[in-house]
Each structure stands twice: as structure tokens, then as C-alpha cells.
A and B are shown apart, each in its own frame.
Chain A
Amino acid sequence: MRLLVKNGSIQRRLAVQLSLVAGILSFGLFMLIQVVAETAAVDTQDKILRASAISIADSLYAENGKVRLELPYAALSMLGTISQDRVFYRVLFKEKTLTGYDDLPVQAVEMLERKNKFSTFQYRGEEVRSVLIKRSIAVDGVFSDAIIIVAQTRLGLNVISQKITRTATTMGVLFFLFGTGLSVWAAHVALNPLNRIAQAVTQRGPKDLRPVTGNSPSELKPLVDALNSFILRLKSSALRTEDFISEAAHRVRTPLATVRTQAEVIHRSLDKSKNKTALRDMIRALDESSRSAGQLLDHAMVNFRSDQFSPSEINLLDILKEVCNRLSPLAGLKDITINNEFQEDNCLFRGDAILLHNAIRNILDNAIKYSPDDSIITVKCHWSKKIIVSFEDAGRGFSGNEYTKRFTRGTNVGDVIGSGLGLTIANEVAIVHGGFVLISKNKKGVGSCVSLILPTF
């Protein structure tokens, strides 16, 4: 038992302990039924024996100086009602047997003085229960004692006793089973709040640091409080990391900006094409590193927000328009036009505006980067069963097997250097919202079509 409960769950421990109690109670019930019923059965037999003996005694009378007995039929037949038991009797007067079985033993006289005039003994190979009563009868004016003994085998009683045992066992087992069932249920119910809390914590993402809320019983409050304070400490440490990333970004980006701008100024003033090329390469490297840094930060932010996903009602078209407006000047530098084709004015959606903003910006930024000069990027948004936001460009597109490869870090389009995180970010945002990113060929010929597919609610 110790083994069973030592490492087992509290629930099992509780169930086992409650079942033990149920077992003890069941045994008690069994004993109670057995004792009470048997006593009652024995009492019944005793009473009938006594009644039989009394009725025999009552039929004794003196006549002509002799004691006579007219054995009443009922005196013995009442004993027969119990079962097929055999009945023995003996009537003695002045220590001489008047009638009945001679060898039926007369219990000692002292027995008469006992309150209990019943006894159990072996007679003719069988256990019998007997009663002995005394009656004074006057014969010729002299009172003498007549002794009446009635005995009966106990077969019927044994049958009853077996029946009682069976019933008591059945009752005990049923009670035990019922009690055990109740114990398991009670243990389960008692531990429900604990399970709820455990489930609430285990279902979380690795960075979900919201405190555990909901009603918990007072016994669990210290545990929940301790858990929450731990979560709080963890959260503040995570926030410090966030601040650190922001701060680091600031520290790195400002000098990068200085170097880049100065390089541009110098580039303009140089005449030798060799130097110009070198400087140009330098600026490109700077651009790539800052783009990658930006995407890494975006990615970190997307991870952070995905873990604490808290959607709200938003108009997807507002975000789309804002991002398009925001990136138009950038597209304009390459004479790229961004065309919007929206189905209606409102596309209501439950999601995280900042995440979606980030995803859309990254897809569009990618499209601009890989689109040739003087081209058109078409942003479409239509919905029926699903919301489909698609970005069609005239860029170099993706080659066959890159259609699924794009969703991992570090892959690029052909020979263009970049972190390749843009679509990974978009894909992760889509997944958080229950959607996905699909890459297909642009139906109008060259280029590709990146679609952000989101479920409608």
C-alpha cells in the first residue's frame, strides 16, 4: 500500500485512503447484519421452543393419582414451521420418563436455576437446541415437579444463517464498491481546482507570462500566489531583455546611420570609379546589416507578442492602407506603383493589429525589394469563407522548390543577400491567427504572388 501511494498522485492517495475507510465500514456493516440477524433467528427458535414446551406443560394434568399428558398436536407442529427439522421431546415426572425420548439428556438441575433455560448440544449426531421447563403438578395433594424438554435440530437455522451470511456479504461488497466509487469521485472532485491550475499553466506557450487567474480554493491560494510571484519575476526579467534589445538597437543604429550618411556624402564627392564602387559596396553591406537587424527585431517582437496573443476587433483594410501609404515613398524610389484592390471598405477581423501590421509590412517590403524598376505591385483583399490578402509583384519570383522552403530562416531569393526572415515573420503571424502564407506564381505572367490567408469568424 505504501508503494502504491508513495509516489502516486494525491488523487490516488486520497482515493485509496477513502476506499480503506469504505472497506472498514463495509466489514462493519457485514458484521452488524450477521450478528443482528442471527440473534434474531436464534431468538425466534428459542421462543417457539419455549412456547412448545409451555403448551406441553399446560396439557399435563393429574388423574387418579397419576400424571397424564395429552400431547397437543400444535405443540410440535409449531416447531415444524421453521423447516424440515427434527423435533425431540421428553417429559419426566419424579425423574421418570412419562413420554418422549428416554435418552434426551436432562440438563443439570442447576440449569433450571439459570435464567437462560436454553442450551445447545450434540444429540444423535446432530446439533440440537433445547429448552427445559419445570412445572409443579399436585398428585393426591402432593406437589411434584414435572420436567419438560423440547429439542430441535438446527438445520433450518443453519440455512437461515447461510442466507443471512450471503445477504450480508452481498450488501457488504455492494457497499464497498459504492464507497470506493464515491471515494474516487470525491478525490477527483476535491482535486479539480488543482488540475485546473495545472492545466492552465501547462497549456501555455513557453513565454506566456500572464499571471494565473480564476477562482482557486483558499487552500491553493499560497501555491497560486507563489506561482504568480515567480511568473512576475520571470516577466520582469523578460521585459528587461526586451528593453535591452531596444537599447542595443538604438546604440547600434545611430552610429550605422552616421556611417551610412557620411559614406553617401563622400560617395558624391568622389571622382574615381574604383573608389566609388568600394564605397558603394560598403553602403550595401550597411543596408543589409540594418535590414537584417530590423527583421531580427521584428521576429523577436512577433515571438514575444504571439506568446501573449490577445486579439481585438480590427479593420484589416485600415492596416493594409496604412502600410501601403507608409511604403509608397520607398516604392516610389524605384518608380514602383502600389495598387490597392479592396472588395469593400471594411474587413473586420479579430487579431493583433501590431502583429498583422508587421506581417503585411514585411511582405510588402520584400515585394518592393525584389520588384524591378517601373513595375506595379497589386495588393488585393477579398473574403468570403476566408480572408485572402494577396501581394502580386513582377519580381523574379520563386523557383519551383522554394515554394515551401521560404518559411525557414536564412533562405533567400536566388543570389540576393538578405536574412530571409520577412516571409518567416509573416508566416508566423499568420499561424498565430489560424491562417497561413501561400506562395504562388503571379497569374499575370512574371513575378510571384504572396497571399496571407486568414480565417473569418
Chain B
Amino acid sequence: MRYLLVEDNIQLARAISDRFALEGHVVDHAKSLNEAREFMDLTSYQLILLDIMLPDGDGRFFLKTHRVNKNTTPIIILTARSEVSDRINLLDLGADDYITKPFDFRELEARCRAVLRRQDGSADNKLELSGTILDSLEGTLKTGAKIEKLRNRELRLIEIFFSSPEKIFSKNHLMDRLFSFSEDISENAIEVYVGRLRKKLDNSHVKIETVRGLGYRLISLK
């Protein structure tokens, strides 16, 4: 996925880009509204992350013209203000969602996903392995005619496996990606989610294998 990040704080922009890169997304960074317009002329984006206070204008103005021009690319506002009237105003102006700084990256990711799902995501979001299709926007796992609905954490876990089949992921790594920092989670928690996924992968040609002492990996049985 290709996102456009419009943010004048360079350190924050770099951190967000790095963080998105870890999830396998490409982020272009525009430091001002003018730069953002230039980027958008050159290529198309699945999602725009927009700051409000920018050196060459108000993000809300950009948002308004964006909607007036019938541009359908969803926009999520990154705001540092927290007054509710502000937030409601943002949605009225046509923002798809907003998030208040500082944010939990998982929440931003979840909001991006929710916005993209509403946007009716493209085929890019489907991953396939040995006849099993993972639709990360719909949150479904399809094997033949059988469709399994995935809960949030199940989805995020299987996404990790589907993105790199055969690769071994340690329990610690998986825990970092699955749980928020405010939760105290034991290593067993991962086993619970892996167990659930295994049940949903019954009768398919893929399997989550335990690699003793190292972690888990997704393998094809074909």
C-alpha cells in the first residue's frame, strides 16, 4: 500500500514512515500542502494522512478542496488539538477519520484499515497461499467455498504469517506486534491465538507449524 503523509514535523514524519515500513507499507512524506499537491499529481495513493497545522496553510482547507474536487482518496487527520468541536468539524469537512497525537500506532493502523474497508478495498489486499485466500480488509480467510471470519488479533497474526510464508517468527516478535504496550501479556497468549487460527485453517492446505525453541511459521502442505 502507498500512503501519503503530510506532516511538517520531520522527526515525527520519519518515525511514522519507519513504523509503516515495518508493516510493509510505502509512505511518501510531504512537508507542506504544496508538496502534497505535487506528490498527488505524480502518483495515486490509497490513503492520505494529513496534519492540520502546516507551514503553508490549514490542513482543513486542503481537506475541503480535496472533497470539492471529488477526489475519493480517503483522508485521516492527525490532530494535536483535542477539542471535540474540532473533531466533529473535521468529519463534517469530509475527513474519513482522525486520530489525536500522540497515538498508539496500532490504533492508527486499525483506523487506516477501517477507512480502507469502507472505501471498498482493491485486490491488492488479498494474499494467497496454496488455495487459501486472506482478505485483510474484509478480515476473512477463504478456503474453497468455506469462509472464516477473523477477529482483529487473529487477522493481524495471520497477516504476519501470510506476508512471509516459511519464515519463522519468534513468540516475542509476535507479541510485540499483537498486543498494546499497556497490556501485560504472558507468552501463552500467543499460543491461544495460534490455536484459534489453526482451527480456522482446518481442511486447508496451509498450516501453522511450531518450530521448537524458535517460534512459529506458516507452511504450505501442497
A: residues with CB less than 8 A from B are 246, 249-251, 253-262, 264-265, 267-268, 273, 276, 280, 283-284, 286-287, 290, 293-294, 297-298, 301, 326, 328-330, 332-335, 353-354, 357-358, 361, 369, 373-374
Given A258-B15, A329-B107, 14 more pairs with CB closer than 8 A: A253-B100, A253-B102, A254-B9, A254-B80, A258-B9, A262-B15, A262-B18, A268-B176, A276-B176, A301-B83, A333-B180, A334-B180, A354-B84, A357-B88
Q: How far is the CA of A255 from the CA of B9 in the complex (A)?
A: 9
Closest A residue, CB atoms, query B156 = A333
A264 touches B105 (CB 8 A): yes
B127 in contact (CB, < 8 A) = no
Q: Contacts A332-B152, A333-B106 given: A297-B101 contact, CB under 8 Å?
A: no
A286 touches B180 (CB 8 A): no
Q: How far is the CA of A190 from the CA of B141 in the complex (A)?
A: 82
Closest A residue, CB atoms, query B172 = A273
Determine the chain B residues whose CB is within 8 A of the CB of A287 once the complex forms. Answer: 102, 104, 181-182
B: residues with CB less than 8 A from A are 9, 11-12, 15-16, 18-19, 22, 53, 78, 80-85, 88, 97, 100-107, 110-111, 113-114, 151-153, 172, 176-177, 180-183
Contact partner of A261 (CB less than 8 A), chosen from B15, B100, B176, B177, is: B15
Task: Name the residue in A261, A280, A333 with the highest tally of chain B Cβ atoms < 10 Å from its Cβ.
Answer: A261
Q: How far is the CA of A373 from the CA of B88 in the complex (A)?
A: 29
Determine the chain A residues whose CB is within 8 A of the CB of B176 once the complex forms. Answer: 267-268, 276
The 3 closest A-B pairs by CB, nearest first: A261-B15, A257-B102, A329-B110
Q: How far is the CA of A280 from the CA of B151 in the complex (A)?
A: 25
Q: How far is the CA of A29 from the CA of B83 in the complex (A)?
A: 73
Determine the chain A residues whose CB is within 8 A of the CB of B11 once the complex forms. Answer: 258, 262
Closest B residue, CB atoms, query A280 = B181
A335 touches B15 (CB 8 A): no
Q: How far is the CA of A2 from the CA of B47 in the complex (A)?
A: 81
Q: Contacts A246-B81, A357-B84 given: A265-B110 contact, CB under 8 Å?
A: no
Closest A residue, CB atoms, query B15 = A261
Question: What are 29 A-to-B residue pairs whose CB atoms are below 8 Å?
Answer: A246-B81, A251-B80, A253-B102, A254-B9, A254-B80, A258-B15, A258-B102, A260-B102, A261-B12, A261-B16, A261-B102, A261-B105, A262-B15, A262-B18, A268-B22, A268-B177, A273-B172, A283-B181, A284-B181, A294-B82, A329-B114, A332-B110, A332-B152, A333-B104, A333-B180, A334-B183, A354-B85, A358-B84, A361-B84
Q: How far is the CA of A353 from the CA of B84 in the complex (A)?
A: 10
Closest A residue, CB atoms, query B193 = A335
B181 touches A258 (CB 8 A): no
B107 touches A330 (CB 8 A): yes
Q: How far is the CA of A329 from the CA of B106 in the complex (A)?
A: 9
> Do most interface residues of chain A lie in helix, strand or loop, or is the interface mixed?
helix
Closest A residue, CB atoms, query B21 = A265
Task: Name the residue in A255, A258, A284, A328 with the highest tally of chain B Cβ atoms < 10 Å from its Cβ.
Answer: A258
Closest B residue, CB atoms, query A279 = B181
Determine the chain B residues whose CB is within 8 A of the CB of A256 once the complex forms. Answer: 101-102
Closest B residue, CB atoms, query A297 = B82
Determine the chain A residues whose CB is within 8 A of the CB of B78 once the complex forms. Answer: 257
Q: How far is the CA of A259 from the CA of B106 in the complex (A)?
A: 15
Q: Contacts A261-B15, A267-B176, A280-B181 given: A333-B81 contact, CB under 8 Å?
A: no
Closest B residue, CB atoms, query A242 = B83
A335 touches B83 (CB 8 A): no
Q: How far is the CA of A255 from the CA of B16 in the complex (A)?
A: 12
Determine the chain A residues whose CB is within 8 A of the CB of B182 once the complex forms. Answer: 284, 287, 369
Q: Closest Cβ of chain A: how far from B85's Cβ, in Å?
A: 5
B81 touches A249 (CB 8 A): yes
Q: Closest Cβ of chain B: how far from A370's Cβ, in Å?
A: 11
Task: Name the residue in B11, B78, B101 with the highest tally of chain A Cβ atoms < 10 Å from its Cβ.
Answer: B101
A294 touches B180 (CB 8 A): no
Task: Name the residue in A251, A254, A257, A298 with the highest tally of chain B Cβ atoms < 10 Å from its Cβ.
Answer: A257
A333 touches B101 (CB 8 A): no
Q: How far is the CA of A353 from the CA of B102 in the complex (A)?
A: 25
Q: Closest Cβ of chain A: how far from B111's Cβ, in Å?
A: 5
Q: How far is the CA of A332 from the CA of B102 in the complex (A)?
A: 19
Q: Closest Cβ of chain A: how far from B200's Cβ, in Å?
A: 14
Contact partner of B19 (CB less than 8 A), chosen from A264, A297, A333, A358, is: A264
B53 touches A294 (CB 8 A): no
Q: How far is the CA of A290 from the CA of B100 in the complex (A)?
A: 10
B180 touches A257 (CB 8 A): no
Closest A residue, CB atoms, query B180 = A333
Contact partner of A250 (CB less than 8 A), chosen from B22, B80, B114, is: B80
Q: Contacts A254-B9, A257-B12, A330-B110 given: A290-B102 contact, CB under 8 Å?
A: yes
Contact partner of A253 (CB less than 8 A), chosen from B101, B104, B153, is: B101
Q: Contacts A284-B182, A330-B107, A330-B110 given: A294-B100 contact, CB under 8 Å?
A: yes
Q: How far is the CA of A276 from the CA of B22 in the complex (A)?
A: 17
B102 touches A259 (CB 8 A): yes
Determine the chain A residues whose CB is within 8 A of the CB of B110 once the complex forms. Answer: 329-330, 332-333
Determine the chain B residues whose CB is within 8 A of the CB of A332 once the complex forms. Answer: 110, 152
Determine the chain B residues whose CB is within 8 A of the CB of A294 once the complex forms. Answer: 82, 100
